[in-house]
């Protein structure tokens, strides 16, 4: 039941947070995302997301594709004084976001049948 539900697609959104390059996961999950539905990818590094940004723009399957930097500033609040923490980090990561749209290309189409080449066998070895 679970695998069929996933492969049926039409998800309301997808969110990915990872340190590695999310390019292959985006290629895998974008076809399963419903039309006009948002996606967000978080990474602490800009370069993998910049590569994915270029890929999404060239595929034409998404609009409002944005690469933004998150910035978090913590404050120390004491009686009669408030100031940013001295030991704070300047960056917390980057977000790639967009909205899936219908396209004439097949890059964002849900596959008819799952490929047996992509199946992972679990062995006790």
What does the block give as tokens for 98? 């967009």
- Contacts (Cβ under 8 Å, ≥6 apart) of 63: 98, 99, 101
What does the block give as tokens for 65? 């594709």
The mean per-residue pLDDT over the stretch 29-41 comes to: 90
Contact 53, 96 (CB under 8 A): yes
Say if 82 falls within a structural domain: yes
- Structural domains of the chain, count: 1
- pLDDT for the residue 92: 80
- The pLDDT tens digits of the residues spanning 66-117 come to 999 887 777 888 898 888 777 766 668 899 999 998 876 555 554 444 444 4
Say if 115 falls within a structural domain: no
What does the block give as tokens for 58? 């060239």
Q: Which domain holds residue 14?
A: 2-104
Residue 100 is part of a domain; what is its CATH number?
3.40.50.150
- What is the b/e burial string over 28-42, where b = at least 16 CB atoms within 10 angstroms of the residue's CB? ebbebbeeeeebebb
């Amino acid at each position: 039941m679970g695998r069929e539900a996933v492969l049926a697609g039409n998800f309301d959104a997808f969110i990915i947070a990872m340190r590695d390059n999310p390019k292959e996961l985006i290629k895998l999950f974008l076809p399963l995302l419903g039309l006009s539905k948002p996606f967000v990818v978080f990474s602490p590094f800009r370069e993998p997301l910049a590569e994915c940004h270029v890929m999404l723009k060239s595929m034409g399957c998404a609009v409002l594709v944005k690469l933004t930097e998150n910035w978090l500033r913590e404050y120390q609040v004491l009686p009669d004084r408030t100031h940013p923490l001295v030991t704070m980090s300047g960056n917390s990561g980057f977000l790639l976001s967009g909205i899936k749209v219908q396209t004439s290309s097949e890059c964002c189409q849900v596959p008819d049948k799952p490929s047996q080449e992509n199946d992972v066998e679990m062995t006790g070895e």
